[in-house]
């Protein structure tokens, strides 16, 4: 069965620096984590960091500054061996741990280092929405981020707020003390610029930032299967008590979440209920929880929205079989069998249904056709031998 995985095309690891004309060295956080902070755990999301690039700059300590369920603040201490200034870029390569809970520093935060020792406070998002919130000043360890989908998302944020910023700035003007997008054009750049908040940094450079909430829900879509429905529940729990307002906020934010997932080359169609993939994933979840009726409804909605989704029609056949509705099961498998992307399991399951209905001849014929496609399947071969032993012919 197709699983509710997020399909992705891995992005290449890139480092984003300032324009070539800038005389200030640009350093990436992941390259300067001191040995005392290193966390050597190996898991799906993390692995050991490499040695620091040099001792010219080191992050020597890390702790929770303002723990929170939504957006935490981390305190890092940076030590420079030589005089500054240096620009420290929060890149996509590192993750921090407070005990078992992981935090992703929001990419593309920048800090200008001038002193030998500097205390930095940066925003970070919990990798998953649930878990114990660590105490203030809880010490942190650091590891290399290895979760490929999360990496792709973090790099997408870094790319939008870094490489693409020069192109987006041309639509932004200052009006009455606020930065706004002012253009009659309606293209993807303008839409992206409108999603961002704009300000001048301490050096007077215009910067654009994606919403922390949009990044959060894209992150939770990857790590926890969040959709617009779970985002609505989160908003009601953390921010907005009114149901209608929470739904409207989640819907408005949802299109931005999908855009960011798309930019990360992930399956963005899993978040909003306008897409077949949204219902397909809900069908899988309900099936795994044993809620067959709910699962059936979700797969039927997915098939209705996208008739080419052969996996949805196949799963409808599986559920009907589990329910003992063999005629309906056979009908669904027949529809799936006529699809250009049909896969061998459809034939095998049609054979199983035929056996349940007492049609051994058809079952044998289907199993033989199935074996032509897979070549080797001990279970199917055993069934063919049993049927042939009864005198059946395909």
Q: Is the Cα torsion angle 244, 248, 251, 256 positive or negative in sign? A: negative
pLDDT value of residue 296: 96
Helix extents (H) in 239-273: 243-263
pLDDT value of residue 14: 33
**Between the CA of residue 260 and those of 40, 153, 230, 255, what are the distances in Å?**
31, 7, 18, 9
Structure tokens at 100: 């078992």
pTM higher than 0.85, yes or no?
no
Interval 190-209: pLDDT, tens:
999 999 999 998 878 899 99
pLDDT value of residue 228: 96
- Radius of gyration of the chain from its Cα atoms, rounded to whole angstroms: 27
Q: Which helix (H) or strand (E) holds 368?
A: helix 360-374
Nearest-angstrom CA–CA distance, 76 and 269: 37
Q: Tell me what the mean pLDDT of segment 126-137 comes to.
A: 91
pLDDT above 90 as % of the chain: 68
Count the neighbouring beta carbons within 10 Å of the beta carbon of residue 330.
Answer: 22
Mean pLDDT is lowest, of 2-16, 304-318, 339-353, for 2-16
Q: Tell me what the mean pLDDT of segment 221-247 comes to.
A: 95
**Contact present, 225 and 4 (Cβ < 8 Å):** yes
Which one has a higher pLDDT value, 84 or 194? 194
Interval 339-382: pLDDT, tens:
888 888 888 989 899 888 888 888 888 888 888 888 788 888 88
Structure tokens at 181: 């997008």
Mean pLDDT is lowest, of 32-36, 126-130, 383-387, for 383-387
pLDDT value of residue 394: 58
Domains (range + CATH), the chain: 276-389 (1.25.40.10)
Q: Using CB atoms within 10 Å of the CB of residue 325, give its burial: 0 to 12 exposed, 13 to 18 middle, 19+ buried.
A: middle
**Contact present, 384 and 358 (Cβ < 8 Å):** no
Angle between helices 345-356 and 310-322 (to 10 degrees): 20
**Contact present, 304 and 283 (Cβ < 8 Å):** no
Structure tokens at 301: 């909605």
């Amino acid at each position: 069965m197709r699983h509710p995985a997020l399909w992705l095309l891995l992005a290449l690891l890139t480092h984003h620096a300032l324009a070539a004309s800038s005389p200030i060295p640009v350093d990436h956080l992941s390259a300067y984590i001191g040995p005392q902070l290193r966390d050597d755990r190996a898991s799906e999301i993390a692995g050991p960091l490499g040695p620091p690039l040099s001792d010219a700059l080191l992050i020597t300590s890390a702790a929770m500054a303002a723990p929170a369920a939504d957006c935490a603040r981390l305190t890092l201490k940076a030590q420079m061996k030589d005089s500054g200034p240096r620009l420290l870029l929060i890149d996509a390569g590192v993750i921090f741990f407070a005990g078992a809970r992981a935090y992703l520093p929001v990419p593309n935060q920048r800090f200008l280092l001038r002193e030998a020792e500097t205390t930095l406070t940066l925003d970070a998002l919990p990798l998953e929405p649930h878990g114990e919130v660590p105490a203030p000043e809880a010490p942190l360890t650091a590891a290399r981020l290895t979760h490929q989908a999360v990496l792709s998302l973090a790099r997408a944020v870094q790319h939008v707020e870094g490489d693409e910023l020069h192109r987006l700035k041309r639509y932004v003007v200052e009006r009455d003390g606020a930065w706004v997008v002012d253009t009659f054009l309606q293209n993807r750049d303008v839409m992206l610029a409108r999603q961002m908040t704009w300000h001048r940094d301490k050096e007077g450079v215009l910067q654009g930032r994606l919403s922390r909430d949009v990044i959060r829900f894209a992150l939770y879509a990857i790590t926890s299967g969040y959709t617009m429905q779970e985002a609505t529940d989160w908003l009601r729990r953390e921010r907005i008590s009114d149901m209608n307002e929470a739904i409207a906020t989640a819907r408005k934010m949802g299109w931005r979440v999908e855009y960011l997932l798309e930019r990360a080359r992930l399956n963005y169609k899993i978040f909003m209920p306008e897409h077949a993939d949204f219902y397909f994933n809900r069908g899988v979840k309900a099936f795994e929880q044993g809620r067959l009726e709910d699962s059936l409804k979700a797969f039927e909605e997915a098939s209705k929205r996208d008739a080419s989704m052969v996996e949805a029609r196949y799963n409808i056949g599986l559920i009907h079989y589990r329910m003992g509705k063999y005629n309906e099961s056979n009908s669904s498998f027949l529809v799936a069998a006529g699809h250009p992307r049909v896969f061998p399991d459809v034939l095998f399951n049609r054979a199983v249904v035929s056996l349940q209905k007492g049609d051994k001849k058809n079952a044998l014929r289907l199993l033989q056709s199935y074996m032509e496609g897979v070549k080797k399947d001990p279970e199917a071969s055993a069934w063919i031998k049993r049927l042939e032993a009864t005198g059946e012919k395909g």
